[in-house]
Structure 1
Amino acid sequence: MKLKQFYNKTIILEDLKRFFGVSILYFLAIFVSGPLYVYSFSNIKNKYQLESVIEAISGLEAHGLISATAGILLGVLLFRYLHNKDSVAVIHGYPFRRSELLNSHIISGIILLTIPIALNAIILAAILPEITSNVDLRLLFGNNVDVEKIASLYSTKQAIYWFCKMEIMSMVFFLISVLAATISGITIIQGALSFILPFVPFFIITMIRAALNTFVFGFGAIARNWDTFAMKIIPIPVSRHNISQDLNYVVWYISLCILLYGFSLWLYKKRDLEKSQDTIVFDILKPTFKYGVTFCSMLLVGGYFYSLKENILWLWIGGFIGSFLGYFLSQMTIKKSIRVLKSLKGYIIYIIVVIIVILGVKVDLLGYERRIPTQDQVKKVFFNDFDLHGKGLVENQNIKSILAIHKIIIDNKEDIIRIQNQKDYSEMTYITIGYLYKNDKKILRCYRVPKTLLANNEHTKELYESKEYKKISNKLLLELDLNKVNSVNIRNYRYGKKKIISNKDEIKELFEILKTEILTEPYESMIDRNEWATIEFDTNDDAYDYGFRLYLADNMQQNIHIGFKRTYSNLEKWFIQKGYLKDIRILPEEIDYLIIQKANRDYSQSYDDYEIEQDLKTGNTKRAEIKDKQKIEEILKTLDNSSFKNNNYIVAIYTKSGIVHYGWYNEESASRYLK
């Protein structure tokens, strides 16, 4: 095809003359929310202002919505003639090929959308280097930050990246609007489809994932991957992270534009001009529209009903109502009439198909829920780790233990589901189990199981106490670069104590002792949720904390938090030697006395201190008052600070400062001190 037959210059010039106002408004909208806003921070005084500049440049919340709206609006205006019988007859009566018409209007749209973005990108490129030219970035972020990398954010390269993101967003939505124009015969329907179609993949994937998570035992493990993928199929303007910089996604976005254009061109050539007032002009697409609306309505209303009660019956009722409304509303839209009850047969067939699919999932026809590999098939296993590309566990005993744990979970499926339905989530825990086969196949499962199911079996104990598991589960701490640690902050939130260690030699000593404690920690201590305090290795990396981690991740190290367990005796001795223990945990010398008394009510759900005080004043239950310092120390090391669950005694700690703290004891522990 000759180039002059590909487009028509006259049509393009006419479009530019008619719709240049949209382009001007688009330029002003981007300018006000972008370059002008960035320039207002030209005199940077603190890191929060610098962070705001990054948000303005990288954020697509405002820019993305503007780009999407501009793209759709231009698509509607340029192809509005398709939805008017007189206009479509006149325009297609000219000696132009249909491909010439479509290509000319698309080129016009590209020009009208690209010029405002390009002009704003040029302005950004001019003002960005001035942002940090007179600012000492080390004063804002500390010496650990790579100043050159931060400065690179305010460069021509960043303006080019911003231009590419905006161009992709506007082009995708513009071409979706063009596709909607070729499919529909009514302008309002084109606009509605243009806004709805980009969200359809994300909505369907998310809702199907939620439904499978409800019906399929163990499916939830891949939810995170599904949501990430769904967000990036089409760059919808809901998050600044939705346009990925990954080369594969960049190629996909370009391919998506080509596919949208190709499909629009093919449909435009096939379009029946006499159907310019039909809701959907292609008969073959009407069932797709009808059942697509039905399916999405079923998922939406069913999901909403389920969120109200988290009950399967409500899910079924909501799904039925949603599918019924979706089916008949779509029929009314297509036929432009309320007389659609004669099409009930199609709805009945749809319901039968849905029921068959759901029953197939429930009975696990594909064996998804029951699938456990044999030990000789497995190269490595992953426990509580979504990343199947990591190191994993390779020792035979650990593989054997995890296979055994997995089998226990599957064998107890009915009991687990029954306990889940009781919604006592405080007694449940999430676990993930992943396998990398020797043929490189991967499977991943996620379960919410009762804590007792894991705690009370020998396989969990064997796994937790293995050196390999401890090293992998604590890899962030064990692989910590101490050169990046500025201080260690030890906080006891319960008793309001805090100690900061800044001496590099002491930090190294503490780290080595803590590492030894972790690698030799017994299983009983590992599952104990009670601890004296929280130890934080502070990298003081403000760039990590304030959002620059998105761009400077190569040099960033996240702060590491770990509990100071009551069983860490060597670490406690070190704190005593340094004279720090009094600043970290409460000591018997700070306590006047303790009272152990049987509770008159259940405090496992909610309570306040006043209720406990009133309970203690009754004095009509078993009670003991402890003043012996040795016994107080024993109680401090054994009482439960986390929950009243499985306990029935109150432990009231009366400090010499007049403040009262509360803990819990079970019958067995309390009996040692009761008279």
Structure 2
Amino acid sequence: MKYKTSYFNMPMILEDFKRLWGLSALYFISLFFTGPLPIMLRMGDKDRSITYIVESFLKPRGFEIQGFYSIVFAILLSLLIYRYLHTINSTTVIHSFPITRKQLFHSHSVAGFILIIIPVLINMLFLLGLMVASNDGSIFYQEVFTTNAIMAWTGKTLLGNIIVYLISSLVAMVTGTSIVQGVLSLIFIFLPIGLGSLILVNLDQLVYGFAGIHSDVESFLLKIIPVTGIWTIEKIDISQILWYLILGLILYIIALQFYKIRSLERATDPITLEGLKPIFKYGVTFCSMVLGGAYFYSVIRVDAWLYLGYAIGGFLGYLIAEMLLKKTIWVFKNIKGFVIYSLIIMIVFVGIKLDFTGYEKRIPEVGRVQNAYYGNGSSHQYRYGEQEGLKKLENIELIRELHQEMIENKKEFMNMAKKRAYNTVSIAYELENGKKIYRDYEAPDEFVQKNPTIKKIFETMEYKRKYHNIFKVDTEAIDYIEINPDYIYQVNKSIKIINKDEIKELTQALKMDLLDESYEEHYSNIIPWASINVRTKASVEMETNDEKESKYSHIDVTWKKSYSMTAKWLKDKGYYEKVRVMPEDINSIVVGKVEKEMDRVYSAFELEKLAKDQTVKIKDKEKIEYLLTNQEGESYLGNSYYMGVYLNNGNKILGYISEEKVPREIKDALK
């Protein structure tokens, strides 16, 4: 008994229960109304709504309402338990008792843990009772509403709540006011992902080619704290659980040590430990600086604004931190620290800009590269194994050549990308030692569309077979193919192909067109005839079981107007007129020259009002077919001629046509 009492003080534990049982009960009610009650009310339903309700509660795939309840409850619990530390009278009285600080901390911790555990366990028992009472042996009870799912939810919720409680308790030991404790608790919970993301955003702006925005760093940062890890990641492995347990132990030990050395006279001070004040001050300064830089640069993508954001954000952060520490607004004379901080940051920025590490110019030697990747927009598919890199030596050399071009055009691209439409050029390598190198560059659209090196890469058979997902699917796995006219045409046509021989033939025709497609055709602005949706058997399986996944549950292929083999097959089978807009579907097409005031017009009706009599109406079916075949979408370079397409069903379509494609007779009529 002496051993136990040397660690805990039972009257103190009971006192915490007496004061705070209502908060624990409120948390129980919040959880109950979020999960068990809705499940109980919908248990008799046989539709998919009950599956959604159960999964959204037991396996949340984002930060949902129960995550909010858990964070607020854990922080409030810690705040109320250690409220006495933040008032001089209370802290004097409590510490005058014949109880050591060690005993106080252990006793408060036990009380806090029990108050956290009880509401979760009661909800767990409700869920288990519902499951047992209504279990009819169906797949719903085998794969969705299961004992394992309920126990996993219980463990994750308890682990997350306890870690948040310990974070807030640690903050309580180093702060002197409850408000500061609450605010800093929230900051520390989301600090890893928030600060990490801000740093990545700023590095993306400072370092040419930096590919951190889509890197695994953010995924790693999410997992550091259970709140962001548990509520945003569906499956947690044993290594993460072990890390969270170790993290909890570390937080507990540090909080205890801080409590032991805490000065009682510092109650009401924002930061009670002298050694932590510089960390707090410059931490706030740094966070404010990167936030200011990211915000200013998002408003105007100019380097001067980026650095102005750094200066303003950092200075405001420094002043706010000083005001909090000094408890006065008269801190403008105390800027020596900010001057020193600024000099250090300037040295770091100069180092980054001069590329002291060689990051921006680093291209791996071809002999060290196992495969290389080029992508327009993102390296996401390559990064997560959904698209392979190119392995042929000549193609690796082409990607290295493109990489060198991006480096040589650094100054031009950084200036042009801020003024024009741009694409993200992604380059990646997997080296022989397994290491991967990623680079992302912003390049003007015209560079991407006209670059001869990118054209060579795209037109290689290896790239096309790895770029287009249809080459990765066995035709035997295709369940059906559905073809619908492009959404812009607004005609009610559609076919569904289920015949296995026809599926193979159409797939083969599509593959031939894709392999024959030139780079210019791929990036053509001409509106396609239709969209082709290839559905695999795996996709049907997914619809009946949400737990199963497939990379290629469905594949969307565009039937472009240049795809001659696909068009021939559709004609041979009698499907051609059933899946595209035909001249017979069109009443007339009005063609006019785009004037300056029409640049931001988004409908044929608006153009009709603006153009007045400066148009040519086409009703001849052959000419309509020609115009439809060459109809384009809106271009970032601007459009020369517009087309108002009037369908027989009453719909009006806005389109464009390039000047070189407009027939001479129409040009003459518009003069």
Deviation of 1:405 after TM superposition, in Å, equals: 1.3
Partner of 2:463: 469
Q: Which residue of 2 aligns with 1:398?
A: 395
How many angstroms does 1:564 deviate by?
Answer: 0.5
Q: Which one scores higher on RCO, CA 8 angstroms, separation ≥ 6?
A: 1
Q: Structure 2 matches for 1:494-573, cutoff 5 A? A: 494-495=488-489, 496-505=491-500, 506-530=502-526, 531-538=528-535, 541=539, 549=546, 552-554=547-549, 557-573=552-568
Task: Give me the whole-angstrom Cα distance separating, in 2, the residues matched to 1:52 and 1:297.
Answer: 40
CA drift at 1:532:
0.9
Q: Does 1:443 align with 2:437?
A: yes
Change (3 A) 1:225 1:132: farther
Is the counterpart of residue 587 in structure 1 residue 606 in structure 2?
Answer: no
Unaligned runs of 5+ in 2: none
Structure 1 range deviating more: 431-440 or 175-184? 431-440
Q: State the match for 2:173 in structure 1.
A: 182
CA distance in 1, matches of 2:265, 2:351: 45
1:658: Cα distance to partner?
6.3
Change (3 A) 1:597 1:85: closer
Shift, 1:259, TM fit: 1.6
CA spacing shift, 1:535–1:48, aligned 2, 3 Å: farther
2:640 to 623, 639, 648: 648
The answer for the alignment partner of 1:381 in structure 2 is 372
Conserved? CA contact 1:649–1:665, under 8 Å? yes
1:201 and 2:204 matched: no
Q: Of 50, 61, 65, which residue of structure 1 is paired with 2:64?
A: 61
Preserved CA contact (<8 Å) 2:200 2:212: no
Match of 1:217 in 2: 208
Are the aligned partners of 1:182 and 1:268 in contact in 2 as well (CA < 8 Å)? yes
In the alignment, structure 1 residue 268 sits paired with structure 2 residue 265: no
Name the CA distance, whole Å, in 1 between partners of 2:374 and 2:4.
60
- CA offsets, 1:46-72, max 9 Å, x none? 223432332233335211111112211
* 1:647–1:333 CA distance, 2 compared to 1 (3 A): closer
What is residue 117 of structure 2 aligned with on the other side? 114
Report the Cα offset of residue 154 of structure 1.
Answer: 0.5
Offset of residue 334 of structure 1:
1.3
The aligned amino acid for 1:277 is: T
Match among 291, 316, 323 for residue 314 of structure 2: 323
Cα distance change, pair 305–376 in 1 and its aligned pair in 2 (3 A): same
How far residue 121 of structure 1 moved from its aligned partner, in angstroms, is 1.0
Partner residue in 2 for 1:138 = none
**Compared CA separation, residues 311 and 44, structure 1 to 2 (3 A):** farther
Matched, 1:25 2:26: yes
Alpha-carbon distance between aligned partners in 2 of 1:123 and 1:202, rounded to the nearest angstrom:
34
Correspondence for 1:140: none
The TM-score with structure 1 as length reference comes to 0.88
Q: In the alignment, which residue of structure 2 is the partner of 1:576?
A: 571
Look up the equivalent residue of 1:636 and give its one-letter code. Answer: L
The residue identity in structure 2 corresponding to 1:414 is: K
**How far apart, CA to CA, are the structure 2 residues paired with 1:156 and 1:366?**
53
Q: CA deviation at 1:263?
A: 1.2
Aligned residue for 1:415, secondary structure, equals helix
Q: Which amino acid aligns with 2:120?
A: I
State the AA in 2 paired with 1:372: I
User: 2: CA distance between counterparts of 1:129 and 1:486?
Assistant: 40
For structure 1, which runs of at least 5 residues remain unmatched after alignment?
136-146
> Quick one: which amino acid aligns to residue 499 of structure 2?
K
Query: 1:48 maps to which residue?
Result: 49
What CA distance in whole angstroms lies between the structure 2 residues aligned with 1:573 and 1:545? Answer: 34
Q: Does 1:252 align with 2:248?
A: no
- Count of aligned pairs between the two proteins: 654
Alignment of 1:405-420 (within 5 A): 405-420=402-417
Mapped contact 1:64–1:237 kept (Cα < 8 A): no
> Alpha carbons of 1:501 and 1:466: their partners in 2 closer, same or farther (altered >3 Å)?
same
Task: For residue 513 of structure 1, give the secondary structure of its aligned residue in structure 2.
Answer: helix
Give yes or no for contact 1:470–1:519 (8 Å, CA) kept in 2.
yes
Identity, % of aligned positions? 32
TM-score of the superposed pair, with normalisation by structure 2: 0.89
Partner of 2:162: 171
Task: Report if the CA contact (8 A) 1:218-1:446 is conserved.
Answer: yes
